[in-house]
């Protein structure tokens, strides 16, 4: 009976706001008591309760206007750490509007994103109030490390502060996969959705993977857009062999974070992963080997020099017409329309990330924004994050040439007509895998130093597949042992 009743439990039966203690017994308790004890009539009791509750809510800021929300922080200056990537460069165009509306001044420190972590850690590890940043944007594989080391401020206290929180913010409109992968920490495995997770950031510059392809080349040869990896490799090989000056694919291939990103991008549809559910290392599984061979085939059908490429070079090969198919972040869509970056505007189509033997899947990556624990301007920093990621801010980002994080933005018919990738992205997000990359604090030791080196040796012909993956497995196991991941498995309770 108890389990059956819980199906109907109403989590909103009582308003568990910070002010409930002032409302509960002192107002509702007193007025309801006077009515049931015959001391007053019903209308008077409830009318008095309403008036007294409204006074509490006004003092707490629930009816705060926008001007009142920003006024206490006008004149403050916040420093924002952003990567020097296209989305964030476009977002800078919005800052003057934010400063005009709020009176809060914003300074942006733009850093090459692979060098961003070291500077952020340096600033966030300083004593309270002495750090150089009030807002940091992180690559999502740094989120668990930042929380684990106490560098980030939980955002719940801000979203529950009526004087700060925008009642129209609508967090449920943010793409759930983005929110979970980039901003939640503490759930299942320490970084996935689960009862113990907590919010430390908001997605900004978030992404999932899609396929971009040259419509004109596909039309020229009457090629079908591939929906599986088998079809993809056949089409890529055909284009490489038949189209002069063009290769079928483009990829990241540099023996560091980039080749690991590429491997994980294709591993997920093959059912491969770094770990199983018990933290056993599985990089040498049959599924992992098949994914690694596929990565090698993609690199073999990419332009010369690909084994030294990061995202920028990978994207540039597609944008400059050297490659016909791009499978990676959705950021390629906005970039393909930018005349400063692209020669292929109007020639690009978008489709779902191809399905592998394990079905359809895609990454959830990119960036999120949060507040360092040692910031001296946390409230102003929150207001900046909230403004930038609001429904209005999200649409302004799109108009400036950036990437949206909200379902409502990508579902807007007017915007879909202008940005044909939006319907594809919404469909692709149904298959987004929040566990495509293990976002544990030790990922920095595993990512480039182990997986990057061993995958690089394989694709560059310096070692064979089995040796590369076996070496990676052994080295990852050493990291996991030192970090204590197998401690519980060896624990024997006292007799």
Question: What average pLDDT does range 87-105 have in this prediction?
Answer: 97
Rounded to whole angstroms, how far apart are CA atoms 324 and 407? 29
Residue 188's pLDDT is 87
Q: Please name the residues in contact with 154: beta carbons below 8 A apart, sequence gap of 6 or more.
A: 198, 199, 200
Residue 190 has pLDDT above 90, yes or no: no
Residue 488 has pLDDT above 80, yes or no: no
In the DSSP assignment, the letter for residue 24 is I
Question: What average pLDDT does range 460-471 have in this prediction?
Answer: 98
Residue 132's pLDDT is 96
Mean pLDDT lowest for which of 31-45, 69-83, 175-189, 390-404? 175-189
Fold category of 208-363+435-483 in CATH: D-Maltodextrin-Binding Protein; domain 2 (3.40.190)
Question: What average pLDDT does range 169-198 have in this prediction?
Answer: 91
Residue 2's pLDDT is 83
Question: What average pLDDT does range 76-104 have in this prediction?
Answer: 96
Rounded to whole angstroms, how far apart are CA atoms 179 and 200? 10
How large is the C-alpha radius of gyration of the chain? 26
Residue 492 has pLDDT above 60, yes or no: no
Residue 40's pLDDT is 96
Residue 470's pLDDT is 98
SS3 content of the chain, % helix, strand, coil (to 5): 50, 15, 35
CATH code 3.40.190.10 region(s) in the chain: 67-207+365-428, 208-363+435-483
pLDDT confidence of 7, banded at 50, 70, 90? confident
Residue 490 has pLDDT above 90, yes or no: no
Residue 423's pLDDT is 97
Percent of the chain whose pLDDT exceeds 90:
88
Rounded to whole angstroms, how far apart are CA atoms 199 and 160? 12
- Comparing CA positions, the residue from 200, 254, 257 lying closest to residue 445 is 257
- Comparing CA positions, the residue from 139, 102, 210 lying closest to residue 429 is 210
Of the CA atoms within 13 Å of residue 194, those in its CB half-sphere come to 11
pLDDT confidence of 191, banded at 50, 70, 90? confident
Residue 143's pLDDT is 93
Residue 494 has pLDDT above 50, yes or no: no
Residue 6's pLDDT is 84
| Both tokens assigned to 293 | 């061979």
Tell me how far CA of residue 178 lies from CA of 132, 265, 367, 432, 487, in angstroms: 27, 16, 9, 9, 32
Mean pLDDT lowest for which of 67-81, 144-158, 182-196? 182-196
Question: SS3 of 196, please?
Answer: coil
- Please name every residue paired with 45 in a beta bridge, in sequence order, or none if there are none: none
Q: How far apart are the first and last CA of the chain?
A: 38
- Comparing CA positions, the residue from 440, 442, 464 lying closest to residue 454 is 464
- Comparing CA positions, the residue from 77, 80, 209 lying closest to residue 138 is 80
Residue 193's pLDDT is 83
Fold category of 67-207+365-428 in CATH: D-Maltodextrin-Binding Protein; domain 2 (3.40.190)
Rounded to whole angstroms, how far apart are CA atoms 491 and 486? 9
pLDDT confidence of 495, banded at 50, 70, 90? very low
Name the average pLDDT for the chain: 95
Q: What is the pLDDT of residues 144-156, one digit of tens each?
A: 999 999 999 999 9
Q: What is the pLDDT of residues 316-342, one digit of tens each?
A: 999 999 999 999 999 999 999 989 999
In this prediction the pTM is: 0.90
Q: What is the pLDDT of residues 97-140, one digit of tens each?
A: 999 999 999 999 999 988 999 999 999 999 999 999 999 999 99
Q: What is the pLDDT of residues 204-222, one digit of tens each?
A: 999 999 999 999 999 999 9
């Amino acid at each position: 009976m108890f389990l059956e009743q819980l199906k109907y439990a109403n989590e909103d039966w009582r308003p568990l706001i910070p002010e409930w203690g002032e409302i509960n017994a002192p107002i509702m308790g007193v007025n309801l008591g006077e009515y049931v004890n015959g001391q007053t009539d019903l209308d008077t009791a409830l009318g008095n309760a309403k008036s007294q509750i409204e006074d509490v809510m006004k003092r707490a800021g629930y009816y705060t206007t926008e001007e009142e929300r920003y006024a206490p922080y006008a004149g403050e200056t916040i420093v924002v750490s952003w990567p020097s990537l296209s989305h964030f460069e476009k977002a800078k165009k919005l800052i003057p509007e934010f400063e005009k509306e709020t009176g809060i001044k914003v300074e942006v420190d733009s850093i090459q994103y692979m060098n961003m972590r070291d500077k952020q850690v340096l600033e966030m590890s300083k004593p309270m109030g002495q750090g150089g940043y009030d807002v940091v944007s992180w690559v999502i594989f740094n989120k668990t490390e930042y929380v684990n080391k106490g560098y980030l401020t939980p955002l719940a206290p801000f979203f529950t502060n009526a004087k700060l929180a925008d009642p129209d913010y609508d967090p449920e409109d943010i793409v759930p996969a983005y929110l979970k992968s980039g901003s939640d920490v503490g759930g299942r495995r320490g970084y996935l959705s689960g009862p113990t997770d907590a919010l430390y950031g908001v997605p900004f510059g978030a992404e999932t993977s899609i396929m971009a392809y040259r419509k004109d080349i596909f039309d020229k040869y009457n090629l079908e857009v591939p929906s599986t990896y088998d079809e993809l490799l056949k089409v890529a090989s055909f284009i490489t062999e038949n189209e002069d000056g063009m290769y079928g694919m483009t990829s990241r291939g540099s023996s560091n974070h980039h080749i690991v990103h590429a491997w994980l991008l294709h591993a997920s549809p093959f059912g491969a992963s770094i770990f199983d559910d018990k933290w056993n290392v599985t990089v040498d599984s049959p599924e992992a080997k098949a994914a690694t061979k596929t990565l090698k085939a993609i690199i073999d059908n990419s332009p010369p020099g690909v084994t030294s490429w990061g995202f920028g070079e990978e994207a540039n090969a597609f944008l400059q017409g050297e490659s016909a198919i791009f499978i990676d972040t959705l950021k390629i869509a906005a970039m393909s329309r930018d005349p400063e970056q692209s020669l292929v505007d109007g020639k690009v189509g978008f489709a779902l990330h191809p399905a592998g033997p394990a079905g359809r899947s895609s990454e959830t990556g990119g960036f999120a924004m949060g507040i360092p624990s040692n910031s001296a301007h946390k409230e102003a920093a929150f207001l900046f994050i909230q403004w930038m990621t609001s429904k209005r801010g999200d649409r302004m980002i799109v108009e400036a040439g950036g990437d949206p994080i909200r379902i409502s933005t990508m579902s807007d018919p007017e915007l879909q007509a202008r940005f044909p990738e939006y319907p594809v992205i919404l469909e692709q997000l149904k298959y987004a895998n929040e566990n495509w990359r293990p976002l544990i604090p030790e990922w920095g030791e595993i990512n480039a130093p182990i997986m990057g080196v061993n995958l690089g040796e394989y694709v560059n012909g310096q070692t064979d597949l089995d040796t590369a993956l076996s070496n990676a497995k052994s080295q990852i196991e050493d990291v996991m042992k030192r970090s204590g991941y197998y401690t519980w498995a060896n624990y024997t309770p006292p007799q």
